[in-house]
């Protein structure tokens, strides 16, 4: 009888060990950043590569520089801003003030928060719906670094990616009017433009870093 109980006990223990190990193996899935977030790591890498390509192409063909210079003084405006940006801020957030904008609704970008110029078109074609974008411009003011937003759609999420590119502005570069034509030279527009002439008396006006941040919403 003792032997029978011992055998039973050993059998039960063996079964319990086996059950426990199977349960352990089934329960131990790895918690990775892939499993509990709004974004997939592969998609993030893809967005980063797209941003780098966008900045390279627009830097080479001049559309980025045109977008930086797409600034002016709208008639009857108390502040200068990017053409047809919202009236409350100087940058594009998605609420263009039609009273102060000389472009018609069809000339504005179909996605209001993007600039109505070639750079905005490129941004629109690169990223589809469901992607939020911030474009931040950092310029030099003596030894300080100041920021001016071009596009602002809110604080980025934890899964945002960003890429940067540098552009040099010259004193002889001209501001762009809202229809893409040429306006005043930068050296005459220092009190109107967001960035100051960091090298007064020299050819170079300023060195601006363009930072594009994208994330999924």
Partner 1 sequence: MADLTGERSRAQMLLIGAFALATVLVVLALLLNSAIYTENRATRGQATVNSGQAATFVGGLDRNVGSLVTHLNEDLDVDTYSVLESEVVTNTNEITAGIESQYANRGFLVEVPDISASSVTHGTRIVQDTDTLISGPGNSPDWTVVSNQEVRRFELSVDPDAIPTIADRFTIKVTDSASDTWEITFHQTGSGEEVTVFPPVGSSESCTASVGTTSVGITNASMAGRPCPALEPILDLPGPYTVEIRNGDEASGTYELTVDDEKGDLSTTYNDPGEGTSATDQPWAVPAIYDVLTEFEYRSLALRFDGEILVAPGEFDD
Which chain residues interact with partner 1 by CB under 8 A? 3, 6-7, 10-11, 13-15, 17-18, 20-22, 24-25, 28-30, 32-34, 41-42, 44-45, 48-49, 52, 55-56, 59-60, 138, 140, 143, 145, 161, 163-168, 170, 172, 198-199, 202-204, 206-207, 209
In the complex, the smallest distance separating the C-beta of residue 64 from partner 1, rounded to whole angstroms, is 11
Residue 177 burial (C-beta neighbours within 10 Å; 0-12, 13-18, 19+): middle
In the complex, the smallest distance separating the C-beta of residue 164 from partner 1, rounded to whole angstroms, is 7
Task: Specify the residue, 178 or 213, whose C-beta has the smaller distance to partner 1.
Answer: 213
What is the phi/psi pair of residue 92, to 5°? -85, 120
Establish how many alpha carbons lie within 13 A of residue 172's alpha carbon, considering only the half-sphere containing its beta carbon: 2
In the complex, the smallest distance separating the C-beta of residue 98 from partner 1, rounded to whole angstroms, is 35
In the complex, the smallest distance separating the C-beta of residue 217 from partner 1, rounded to whole angstroms, is 20
Task: Specify the residue, 22 or 217, whose C-beta has the smaller distance to partner 1.
Answer: 22
Task: Specify the residue, 17 or 217, whose C-beta has the smaller distance to partner 1.
Answer: 17
Contacts 24+ apart (CB under 8 A), 177-186: 177/72, 177/83, 178/70, 178/72, 178/83, 178/84, 178/101, 178/102, 178/103, 178/116, 179/102, 179/103, 180/66, 180/117, 183/72, 186/69
In the complex, the smallest distance separating the C-beta of residue 177 from partner 1, rounded to whole angstroms, is 22
In the complex, the smallest distance separating the C-beta of residue 140 from partner 1, rounded to whole angstroms, is 6
Using alpha carbons only, what angle is made at residue 92 by residues 90 and 95, rounded to the nearest 5 degrees? Answer: 100
In the three-class reduction of DSSP (H, G, I as helix; E, B as strand; rest coil), residue 95 is classed as coil
Task: Specify the residue, 95 or 172, whose C-beta has the smaller distance to partner 1.
Answer: 172
In the complex, the smallest distance separating the C-beta of residue 69 from partner 1, rounded to whole angstroms, is 14
C-alpha to C-alpha distance for 114 and 94, rounded to whole angstroms:
7
Task: Specify the residue, 74 or 173, whose C-beta has the smaller distance to partner 1.
Answer: 173
Task: Specify the residue, 114 or 195, whose C-beta has the smaller distance to partner 1.
Answer: 195
Which among 29, 28, 151 has a CA at the least distance from the CA of 81? Answer: 151
Structure tokens at 2: 């003792």
Task: Specify the residue, 108 or 137, whose C-beta has the smaller distance to partner 1.
Answer: 137
């Amino acid at each position: 009888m003792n032997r029978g109980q011992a055998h039973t006990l050993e059998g039960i223990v063996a079964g319990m060990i086996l059950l426990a190990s199977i349960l352990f193996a089934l329960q131990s899935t790895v918690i990775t950043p892939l499993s509990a977030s709004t974004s997939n790591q592969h998609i993030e890498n893809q967005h980063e590569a797209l941003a780098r390509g966008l900045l390279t192409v627009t830097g080479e063909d001049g559309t980025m520089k045109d977008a930086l210079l797409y600034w002016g003084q709208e008639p009857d405006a108390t502040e200068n801003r990017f053409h047809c940006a919202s009236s409350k801020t100087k940058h594009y957030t998605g609420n263009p003030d039609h009273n102060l904008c000389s472009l018609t609704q069809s000339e504005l970008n179909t996605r209001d928060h993007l600039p109505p110029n070639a750079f905005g078109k490129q941004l629109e074609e690169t990223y589809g719906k469901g992607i939020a974008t911030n474009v931040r411009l950092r310029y030099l003011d003596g030894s300080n670094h100041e920021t001016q937003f071009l596009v602002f759609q809110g604080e980025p999420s934890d899964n945002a990616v960003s890429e940067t590119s540098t552009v040099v502005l010259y004193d002889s570069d001209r501001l762009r009017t809202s229809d893409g034509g040429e306006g005043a030279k930068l050296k005459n527009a220092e009190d109107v433009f967001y960035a100051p002439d960091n090298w007064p008396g020299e050819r170079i006006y300023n060195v601006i870093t363009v930072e594009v941040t994208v994330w999924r919403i």
